[in-house]
Amino acid sequence: MWGTIDGRDLIYIIVGLALLGLTLQPALARYRLFNLPFFYVLIGAGISAIGLPMITPLAGGWQSKVIEHAAELIVIISLAGAGLAIDTKASWRNWEPTWRLLIVTMPLTIAAVAFLGSLWLGLALPAALLLAAGLAPTDPVLARSVQVAPPGRGEEDMELALTAEAGLNDGLAFPFIYLAIHAATLGVAQMVEGEAWLWSWVGFDLAYRVGIAAAAGFVVGYIISRIIFSPIGDARHGAWNAVVVILAATLLSYGITEALGGYGFLAVFIATRAGRSNTRGTEDEGYEKFVHHGAEQLEAILLAILLLWLGTFIGGGAFDSLRWQEVAFALALILVVRPLAGLIGLIGQKSSRLQRRSVAFFGIRGMGSIFYIAYAQNHAGFEDIDAVWRIAAVTILVSILIHGYAANWFLDHELDLTEAHPHDDSARESD
């Protein structure tokens, strides 16, 4: 006899189909109209229309905690993959565009978003700061289409800059998340009158948390890589446990750093970079390809689920109070604020004009923003948190649409240039 399909059964079926759809991505990616994240968001919106139970961070409590930790997991897996993927050795000269994006572009973006959020959108200052810190970083998850290829396949300046920026920008974003939490907890008036919070923010949230993340990430990554390449490690026994290795390295570096009070996101990226540096130029170089593939698989699974959730959140009423000013803000951030801040940060940088414009433009917003906002919501009370979620959701959706389709056309153009002039630097437009 036919049984009744309940909500649980339907969720299993939908998630199963979503994961099956991931296997078709390599074949469909050559079509310029193909935009996997957008399609999954659309499917999620359709799911909400049939009345399935949904999780909304607007309800607070356990629901916002679920969203926080789900986004947290996909971001750290993505950061681990990004750290493994980069072939170029880190140095000031090699990573110069990245340092410029972190030191100049990101603070300019935070300031601009906070200003617009407060004076144009009418958000309370703590909420405006949260929106700014949450939306300023380039997302390591959804930006994968414009980031570096898997290890050993080479990389362009644009890909390196965006990947390294996404890996490191949490070290600057998180202090401003805590600044927003301080503002929500203490109140703006008390912050202006007192200095104790400022020294705590500079000394602990900024200096200590970043420093301990860098140190712990490096040490944990180095030790794990030594174990993996020891006589009893996976690299010596067929590399059958690459997925387990990336999970172990990610969770250990993240958990230990967080336990020490540091920024786990930053530590995960540095840990995988330390692991790669430990094998560079040795006979062990190449094992990271297996581990990176495992990270990509895990990330794809989590991304499919979270994109479906984002669609249910959007379709389930997140945009009910959406104003035209908020849509205009999202467009302004994607098309004006980030590109302009990026170009300012890259003034004088020795890359082609096309590369600089591309790096400035492809500051994709995504899962990292979801985590930051959920994290702050679970650590302080924000007066305009519903508006922050609504604005962030519309910004992420605009980013998925604009950056997703722009990447399809742009990458095709870059490929044409590379094929036409595979070894000719004159193929790049320069000043």
Q: What is the DSSP string of 72-133?
A: HHHHHHHHHHHHHH--SPP-TTTTHHHHHIIIIIHHHHHHHHHHIIIIIS---HHHHHHHHH
Model pLDDT, residue 352: 82
pLDDT over threshold 90, residue 395: yes
E strands within 171-245?
none
Q: Please state, as a whole number, how many other Cβ atoms lie within 10 Å of the Cβ of residue 430.
A: 11
Mean pLDDT of 60-86: 93
Four-point Cα dihedral 48, 54, 58, 64, nearest 10: -140
pLDDT for residue 152 is more than 60: yes
Tell me the average pLDDT across 381-390. Answer: 94
**Is the per-residue pLDDT at 240 higher than 70?**
yes
Band the pLDDT of 284: cuts 50, 70, 90. Answer: low
Query: What's the chain's length in residues?
Result: 431
Cβ–Cβ under 8 Å, residues 314 and 152: no
HSE, side-chain direction, 13 A CA sphere, residue 358: 27
Mean pLDDT score, 140-168:
81
- Look at 165 and 279; give whichever has higher pLDDT: 165
Mean pLDDT confidence for 237-258 = 90
pLDDT score for 407: 82
Give the model's pLDDT for residue 412: 55
Query: If we measure between CA atoms, which residue out of 143, 149, 133 comes closest to residue 165?
Result: 143
Decide if pLDDT at 139 tops 50.
Answer: yes
Q: Bigger pLDDT: 391 or 87? A: 391
pLDDT at residue 281 in the model = 66
Q: What is the pLDDT of residue 4?
A: 63
Q: Are 137 and 156 in contact (CB under 8 A)?
A: no
**What does the mean pLDDT of the chain come to?**
86
Burial of 82 (0-12, 13-18, 19+ CB in 10 A): buried
Residue 35, helix vs strand vs coil: coil
Q: Could you say which DSSP state residue 50 is in?
A: T
- What proportions of the chain, in percent to the nearest 5, are helix, strand and coil? 75, 0, 25
What percent of the chain lies above the pLDDT cut of 70? Answer: 92
Per-residue model confidence (pLDDT) at position 415 = 37
Instruction: Give the span between the Cα atoms of 404 and 143, in whole angstroms.
Output: 9
Q: What is the DSSP letter of 149?
A: P
Cβ proximity of 139 and 166 under 8 Å: yes
pLDDT score recorded for residue 5: 64
pLDDT at 36: 87
Q: Is the pLDDT of residue 421 over 60?
A: no
Tokens of 120: 């144009």
User: What value does the mean pLDDT take over residues 230-235?
Assistant: 86
| pLDDT on residue 419 | 36
Domains of the chain: 58-420 (1.20.1530.20)
Give the residue-averaged pLDDT of 132-151. 84
Which pLDDT does position 411 carry in this prediction? 61
Chain segment 174-220, per-residue pLDDT in tens: 999 999 999 999 887 777 776 778 888 899 999 999 999 999 999 99
pLDDT in tens, 406-417: 887 776 544 333
3-state SS assignment for residue 155: coil
Largest CA distance in the chain: 73
Position 233 confidence tier, pLDDT thresholds 50, 70, 90: confident
pLDDT range class, residue 101, cuts 50, 70, 90: very high
If one compares 313 and 27, the residue with the highest pLDDT of the two is: 313
What is the pLDDT, as a whole number, of residue 430?
33
Residue with the larger pLDDT of the pair 264 and 414: 264
Q: pTM for the full model?
A: 0.90
Residue 60 CA: distances (Å) to CA of 7, 29, 65, 319: 23, 37, 8, 17
Q: Looking at 38-42, 228-232, 234-238, 357-361, which range is the least confident one?
A: 234-238
Give the residue among 206, 79, 215 at the shortest CA–CA distance from 143.
Answer: 79
State the pLDDT at residue 422.
Answer: 37
